[in-house]
Amino acid sequence: MDNLRVAKVDNVTLDRLLPPSSPSSSSSPIPTSLRQSGTLHLTPHHLIFSPSSSAEGDTGEIWISYPAITLLTRLPQTFGGKYPLQIRTRGFDSYVLTFERAMEGGAEDVWLSVKDCAVAISVEQLYAFFYTLPTPAVSSGSTISTSSHTSPLDVGGIPHPPSASSSSGWSTFSPRLEFARQGVGSRTKAWRFTDINKDYSFSPTYPAKMVVPSRISDSTLSYAGKYRSKGRIPALTYLHWANQASMTRSSQPMVGLKNARSAQDERLVECIFSSHQFLDTAYTASSSTPTPNPLTSSTSTPVYGATSTNLIVDARPTANAMANVAIGAGTENMENYKSAKKAYLGIDNIHVMRNSLKVISEALRDAEAPSIGSSTQSGAPPLDRSLLRKSNWLKHVSAILEGSLLIIRNIHLNASHVLVHCSDGWDRTAQLCAVAQICLDPYYRTLDGFKVLVEKDWLAFGHKFLDRSGHLSSEKLFTVTDAPDEDSDEEGGGGGVGAQKVAQAFFASVQNQFKKGDTHLKEVSPVFHQFLDCVRQIQRQFPDRFEYNEQYLLDIYTDLYSCKFGTFLFNNERERRVAPDASQAGSLPYVERTVSAWEWYDRPEVRRGYINSTYDASLDDPKNRGEGADQGVLMFDPRDVRWWFRLFRRGDEEMNGPSPSFQAQAQGQPQTSGVGVGADMVFVNPGQVDPVSAQGVAEGLAGRGEGFVTGPGVQGSRGPSPVPGRKAVNPALNGVSGKGTYRGIESTSSAFSLQTAGHPTPNPDLSSSSQFPSAGGWGWNQFSSGAYSALSRGAREIRTIGEGAYNQIRAEVGETQETGGAGTGIGEGRPGGAAAPAGRGVRMPSEANPWSLPSSAGGGGTGAGPSSSALQGDMPIQPAPGGEPKLPAGKQASAEQSERELEAAMGGDSRAWDPLGAA
């Protein structure tokens, strides 16, 4: 209470936006503003607003926890003499509190009190250490027993761990019970538990109980731990019920510039990828008498050759992995791991994700600014979806889903093992492993299974909840935007107010040099938020396959930042289980001083509200062989992503809008396909050059931007960057991720993008390329001066590519026009991938996009640009006797004009190409 300057303020006006009343509400498609008067109470952990009278849409008291505040701004005084404060929360709520006075229990005292209480220096100051569960209301016949709950896997005969006898939610996850349910020790003996980290000295961020291959001793593990960042060795997180394929996770290897290697780490990975061959005993192959498997009606005899696509999944872009080599880390050298292939998923780091969410918050703030405080029950202005697209949030979510789908297919369809890691193995690795397990095992789609999954893959394996959620807050989140004093001048006139402000600013800057920096703000990132978003995307595609509903995910997100429970409060298992001061008598671990969130969610009256009414457990029966049966494994569409509008407190149509394909059909425009949507994946086969290695970097520089083409059919070959829309020729990739097509990339994070075919037209929020038509005229009248400036800058940037790249483009287009074939983009039509002779002319009409090239002369391509025949009025290109392809005489003048325009667009004379007449 020492930090509170005021505990109660009367006559406070609250302005806020009410989200649409229901997800399907047609009467309230957008939020509406609401103004209420009441009393504001301040506690050491909450702001509580009690309205004096109820209003339509009123939900009673409003509790705002201090850690959930993302920005508290003291606004300038209003014309009516009021003093407003604006509060923005991590739940995407915005409130404006208006006070009658500034000091003496007014806006200034409230602002300072909240700032002092929110900026905590220790986790023990948070609300979880003071919160106790309320006494449950006892009513006859209303209890729901968690132990008698039937989940979908009971139908298929997959064993379940018994419910914990203790009522504490901290006993939700038991490593022995959960891995025994997966088959460790019962259906296979190739895995064992190790106590090498029982005192957390081996790896402070790993769980005390780990599962490793039985053929690996603890002595080998101790040496292998030195080769992995922070000792996070490859450890088992999931064993598939159908084929004994494993999912393991780790951190990056410490390769460095010297290309270091570890024989123990290589042996550990080799034993993981061969664990299916040692089911009955750890040291000899399976006996001649096979063990029947009741789930698959087969035997445990290994199917030789079924694990030919073992994968080491690096979630990072190749550029990020390359940067880590310079600091002594990096990625595996596949010459030392010959039993596997590698895939770079191209998922961006925590800083990119934090900035992406920041752009979303700014878009929501711009839509709220004109409405909050303007009038009562007025409608909010429409949300600008173009600002949302700039965040690339849906693209990031799609990248995580696509990487998870790669893991799912490799485990379930290819019966192969997967090792997943990023840099430290506690952010992107947790996202990929958890999302993949939800789709592979129906148990994790139940209420009991989901909390086990979160405890195992997020809490036990050391996701940094405290750092990523920013629970300790910072003074930077408390700002002042008071209006400047117009009576004062720069020389300190007006009573010296200006000089006083200058002096205050100077002393504040000096003081900040001696204060501890807010470095923890750089660790904040919506990693767990993205995981919940991914689960919601899958839940929306399969609404009858989840026992829990959307509200369950929303409440978990709310409690992530409420700091009411100890579940989402610490960085690793060691911080939860070990007393902070073991030498001091009476010091208790944090699990005994805080309440688990699962203890609250398991209460009958609470659990009842999370049951999905459309849930059908029979659909997950692995013995079902009927039409449309999937054995309980969900193969979702990673490109079918939409904004989670309920989480962002907006309307569905407001954020997602109508379907882009319907709009294109209604306007008679050709539908465009997304380019570069999802993860930028790069595959590296054994024996091939890794683009992250020193040799790969050297070859990449020598190749001047040409992409690596990997696969058994083209090992060691190089060619031009794959053309969008052309079929992949790598049979290994088809086995891993189905029939795919190479698509262009939007960034330089990897050599090429791998996208699965057969998906519907993507959401336009995923890629800005879908906003422009792929054929026909440009429609210059739709561009503003700002757009024209952007095009001009783009033309100048294209010129920096260099004459060599420009000549190569001309040569490739000229060869395509000469041969008339639709190549594969991997050196097709040129033996050995040799370049065509330079000097081929580029003939393009003036109405076409000067930057788009025809995909093929004879059609058959699916690129973003129009075909040659469409651009030239179905007039074929006739090769001249001298070898130079020329147009018919009637088109010659137009072709020469088009070539001049193209050269001008590439940075030449601007007067030759000036569609807007600006020259």
Q: What is the pLDDT of residue 454?
A: 97
* Residue 424 assigned ligand-binding role: yes
Q: CA-based diameter of the chain, in Å?
A: 98
| CA 911 – CA 5 distance, rounded (Å) | 68
* Residue 411 assigned ligand-binding role: no
* Residue 350 assigned ligand-binding role: yes
Q: Give 220-252 as a DSSP string.
A: HHHHHTTTBGGG---EEEEE-TTT--EEEE---
Q: What is the pLDDT of residue 654?
A: 87
Query: What are 637-680's pLDDT values in tens digits?
Result: 999 999 999 999 988 888 888 755 444 444 444 443 333 344 46
C-beta separation of 448 from 151 below 8 A: yes
Instruction: Indicate the SS3 state at residue 451.
Output: helix
* Residue 493 assigned ligand-binding role: no
Instruction: Enter the pTM of the model.
Output: 0.71
Q: Which residues pair with 47 in a beta bridge?
A: 42, 64
* Residue 719 assigned ligand-binding role: no
Query: How many Cβ atoms are within 10 Å of 882's Cβ, its own excluded?
Result: 6
> What are the structure tokens assigned to 206, written together?
């790993």
Q: Angle, nearest 10°, between helix axes 550-562 and 527-541?
A: 170
Q: What is the pLDDT of residue 739?
A: 36
Instruction: Indicate the SS3 state at residue 398.
Output: helix
Q: What is the pLDDT of residue 78?
A: 86
Distances (CA, A) of 731 to 111, 727, 734: 63, 11, 5
* Residue 428 assigned ligand-binding role: yes
Look at residues 35, 104, 129 and name the one whose alpha carbon lies nearest to residue 593: 129
| CA 52 – CA 13 distance, rounded (Å) | 10
Query: What are 270-322's pLDDT values in tens digits?
Result: 999 999 887 665 544 444 444 444 334 344 444 444 446 899 999 999 999 98
Q: What is the pLDDT of residue 284?
A: 45
Look at residues 457, 415, 455 and name the one whose alpha carbon lies nearest to residue 436: 457
> What are the structure tokens assigned to 822, written together?
């639709």
Q: What is the pLDDT of residue 13?
A: 93
Give residue 869's Cα distance to chain centre. 41
> What are the structure tokens assigned to 381, written together?
């202005």
* Residue 534 assigned ligand-binding role: no
| CA 450 – CA 430 distance, rounded (Å) | 14
| CA 309 – CA 76 distance, rounded (Å) | 63
Low-confidence ranges of the chain (pLDDT < 50): 23-26, 139-166, 283-307, 375-376, 483-495, 497, 510-511, 513-517, 661-679, 704-762, 764-785, 816-885, 887, 907, 909-919
Q: Is 88 exposed, middle or buried (0-12, 13-18, 19+ CB in 10 A)?
A: buried
Query: End-to-end distance of the chain based on CA atoms, in angstroms?
Result: 68
Q: What is the pLDDT of residue 105?
A: 79
Q: Which residues are catalytic?
A: 422
Q: What is the pLDDT of residue 29?
A: 73
